[in-house]
Amino acid sequence: MKHELTLYCEKNKLAELRNFLDAELSSAKFSEVLKNELILAVEEVCANRMIHSHSCNPSNHLNIKVKQFDQSIIFEIIDTGEPFNMLDYVEPDLKEVIRSKSKGKLGIRLVKRIMDTIEIESTPAKHICRLIKQLNSK
């Protein structure tokens, strides 16, 4: 099984991403709730990259890699779009989000709540977002 997916930058490809991740996480060690959390976190990063770093250009793509270990799982989202470090992003107050009637600003909050470690590597050649989840953790 090849644990990689090439995902073109169109929002209607997100279902394809979920199908890929669902198959990757089919092992019994992932409960339905945990599996859904992991799929959601990876999708949030991919949707952000597609929309904000690639302007949904369908000829651009992301590479998604899944690496499973006994005690952890690592997802890498690799692309050549504009760098963005979500670790520097200051989450707005939820009450302010409601007051402003904003429809966004929740995705990064979800990723940070779900994942144990987030690493960003950015070089002129590529941008890598690495999401790490320790199994049997939060």
- Return residues touching another protein (CB under 8 A): 11-12, 14-15, 18, 32-33, 35-37, 39-40, 43-44, 47, 51, 94, 97-99, 101-107, 109-110, 113-114
Smaller CB separation from another protein, 78 or 110: 110
Taking CA atoms, 80 is separated from 49, 53, 56, 63, 122, in Å, by 10, 9, 13, 10, 9
Distance (Å, rounded) from C-alpha 94 to C-alpha 111?
A: 16
Q: In what order do the strands lie in the sheet with 72-79?
A: 4-8, 61-68, 72-79, 127-134, 117-122
Alpha-carbon span 93 to 44, nearest angstrom: 19
HSE-CB of 12 using CA atoms within 13 angstroms: 1
Contact 102, 63 (CB under 8 A): no
